[in-house]
Structure 1
Amino acid sequence: MDIKLASCCGNCDHHVKGQLCNVHEIVTAETQGCESYEFRAVLSRESDCLKCAKFQTNNCAHPNKASEGMMCTVFYPRIVA
């Protein structure tokens, strides 16, 4: 089974102000989804290399620079169970 981020309004770049879809021009819930989904890349201070699933792997885009406190646009959250 593949585990991936949910393709729903809460993670979509078209979902603005936490409730409005600017593609369909309707109010949506974060748990809804559609075919117009587009991943929203959001960086925060908590999204550094140590919390990235690509850190110290062959998939890391910046292996020579990746370190604690570093952030980049290809951050992929590490799933903690």
Structure 2
Amino acid sequence: MDLKLAKCCGNCEFFLDGRICSKKEISVTQNQVCDAYEFKAVLHREDDCLKCSKFQTSNCAHPKVASEGIMCTVWYPRNSAVS
């Protein structure tokens, strides 16, 4: 089964203070959806290079240091589960 991120306000870069969309300049809830969605990357200790979709690709910003336990600001989650 493939897992995908919900393209809703709660995961959007434009969602501010848990109630405002800075793009549309309106009040929203975290479960609303619109076409201006922009993924908001949030780093957690367990989100290292091994869980990044850019790991060992030409899109990796730091290919010489990317490894287990390393995190960076361009981290992007894999969009499907590994079985």
Aligned Cα RMSD in Å? Answer: 2.3
Match of 2:54 in 1: 54
Higher relative contact order (CA 8 A, sep 6+): 2
Opposite residue 80 of structure 1, the aligned amino acid is A
CA distance in 2, matches of 1:47, 1:64: 18
Note the C-alpha offset of 1:63: 0.8
Structure 1 gaps of 5+ residues are none
For residues 29-48 of structure 1, what are the structure 2 equivalents within 5 Å?
30-48=30-48
Q: In the comparison of the two structures, how many residue pairs are matched?
A: 77
Identity of aligned residues (%): 60
Superposition TM-score, scaled by structure 2 size: 0.69
Distance 1:58 1:27, change over 3 A: closer
Superposition TM-score, scaled by structure 1 size: 0.71
CA distance in 2, matches of 1:59, 1:34: 27
Structure 2 gaps of 5+ residues are none
